Amino acid sequence: MAIPTDSYVLVAGGAGYIGSHTVLELVNAGYKVVVVDNFCNSSEESIIRVRQITNTPDIPLINVDLRDAAGLDKVFTDYNVKSVIHFAGLKAVGESTKIPLEYYDANVGGAITLLKSMAKHGVPEFVFSSSATVYGDATRFPNMIPIPEECPTGPTSPYGHTKLIIEEILEDAAAADPNLKVAVLRYFNPIGAHPSGRIGEDPRGIPNNLLPFVAQVAVGRRPKLQVFGDDYEGSPDGTPIRDYIHVVDLAKGHLAALAKLDSVNGENGEGFLRAWNLGSGKGSTVLQIISAFEKATNQKIPFDIVGRRKGDVLDLTAKPDRANTELKWKVELSVEDACRDLWKWTTENPWGYDGKPE
């Protein structure tokens, strides 16, 4: 596929964890990228480092909240944007049960404003960072683990609901606009960091995801880990099962989705929309991941078993066959690779991008 050199990919939330890794892969592949972010859970430093890693000092980085229609319009006016990859949003399952209105406002409101600005400026391609949480508890149906895209949806948290609502909005928008082409990417559990150790996951405050918390325990930032529940029936050790995928593999999935959108067109007066799971197809329990990290780093992780976290489910393991076949994408890196790369990032950046204690 020929990479366009006269147009930009706008990456919303591009300074965040998955966004920054995807920006790096896009630039390395020859795409021109403009990044917008409001830095509510990210740092400008990630893109500064992407510029250094790729030797591309002119990657534009613009402070815009997606709910700011005028600010977004200016970006679309200033740059010849052909495609949008949308990562921006609040993303913690547990937190979403405590402040649901903030999640609906930021995630759904931001997506609507972004889509309206895209339509106004005639931008045809949209890759959406969705989530496996749209499926909810897939074990409520027979033969749905690993989870195929056909699995009925049923989120169990406000975060999951926001992702599903945006997917439904995208279906309606594509049905109404024959020029709109949408890739919905349902992520499972991204982990790891870039092998350079220069960019990685740097959550503000207490991490909501397992491995960043494990890594912070390993370098002494946190005293011990909490494991939320060991009484999940159907798990080999009672802890939840997730499909963990290296963030570099996940980032490359977005390039595969862009290439796919370039090769398709809508039909019957409607646009194009297709959902793909991005996962490995292999589930690991929380305790198995802790063990893998301990082996990769030669560190012992102290932890306590506590009660289940509201909104969590037993098993979120992907069936990635559709992405393997249609996007020509598959996982190439292992959980062990991810643990090794995460440890390099953590030991070289123990306090994240800021470089100083909280």
Sequence-separated (6 or more) residues with CB below 8 Å from residue 3: 29, 30, 31
CB of 219 within 8 A of CB of 346?
Answer: yes
State the catalytic residues: 159
Count Cβ atoms within 10 A of the Cβ of residue 157 and give its class: 0-12 exposed, 13-18 middle, 19 or more buried.
buried
- CA dist., res. 173 & res. 92, Å (int): 26
Coil, strand or helix at 326: helix
**C-alpha span between 143 and 148 (Å, rounded):** 10
CA nearest neighbour of 218 among 102, 123, 310, 340? 340
Unique residue bearing structure tokens 């319009």:
73
Distance CA 86, CA 258 (A): 12
- Pairing type for strands 303-306 and 225-228 reads parallel
